[in-house]
A and B are shown apart, each in its own frame.
Chain A
Amino acid sequence: MSPFRSGAVRHEGGRTVVVLPVDPAEPVLAGHFPGFPIFPGVGLLGCAEQAARSALDWAPAGPAELAAIETARFLAPVFPGDRVVAEATVSPAGDGWRCPVRLTVTRPDGAELAAMVRFHFRRATP
């Protein structure tokens, strides 16, 4: 499991929620960036994808592969010690499914929207 897809998963109220605490000892932070660690945007995409895939499994939607990131907006940086919460839903779209994911970052002084991502998954041959 990639370090970006290792959050704890739960399903509640029609949504799939992944909680990923950003461990200050996470090895990727050493290189992103030396002297000023920031959780990479790719890590948020990985966490969002984990939530979307878990939502597809829960639906259950059948075999799916990631076809596109239709849109993603990154709104706030995520630092070591922060907690990322990704909330995903699924709806049928074209040859597959659309999965919007909302990512919030929480830290002791509050929470803010970190990113909004919309994935498109296509039906895969099993």
Chain B
Amino acid sequence: MTIDVAGIQRLIPHRYPMLLVDRVVEVLPGVSLLAVKAVTANEPWYADGPPYRDDYAYPPELVLESWCQAAGVLVSLDRPNPDVRTARVTLFGAVTGVHFTGSVYPGDVLRHRVRLLRAVSDGAVFEGESGTDRGEVLRVERVVVALRPVPASGLAFASAG
């Protein structure tokens, strides 16, 4: 089973310029997923030149965000979450042991492997890794994604963690 951009948008609420998954190429529902994201110099992080000094490396926190969105797809397969106003919002909860093991540049295609360790009603725990043609770039020991309903008043939304 593959999932294209339209299918991804039916599952998670992220949209341009914050939709950082292009295609899901393998899925075992409730177990694991392989997703890809093509990195280009046309992304907004490059609007003013290099994101950091003279280096065009893709910001590592965005590699992690992209991986987390792939995790969001996996946990939303049986409970689609396309619009935070009518469904839930996915947020980073806690992160442990995220290792950046290689650099990513425009032209690279990231391949994210995500494995679901545990799902609970208001969140899920994942592990996995990401790579490019040159090898591994990210290893994730544990990411907890929290799913929260959006309250009538956003500011009442006090403990998102």
Contacts and interface: CB of A to CB of B under 8 A. Distances in A.
Interface of A: 1-5, 27-28, 30-36, 38, 40-42, 45-46, 49, 53, 65-77, 79, 107, 109, 112
Interface residues of B, number: 42
Given A2-B51, A2-B59, A33 B17 contact: no
CB-based closest 10 A-B pairs: A41-B92, A31-B18, A42-B65, A31-B15, A45-B61, A32-B18, A72-B95, A69-B98, A2-B51, A75-B161
Interface of B: 13-19, 44-45, 48-49, 51-52, 59-62, 64-65, 83-85, 89, 91-100, 146, 150, 154-155, 157-161
Contacts of B98: 68-69, 72
8 contacts: A28-B18, A36-B150, A36-B154, A40-B65, A69-B97, A74-B94, A76-B161, A77-B154
Contact of A77 (B18, B48, B62, B160): B160
Contacts of A30: 15-17
Main secondary structure of the interface of A (DSSP, over half): mixed
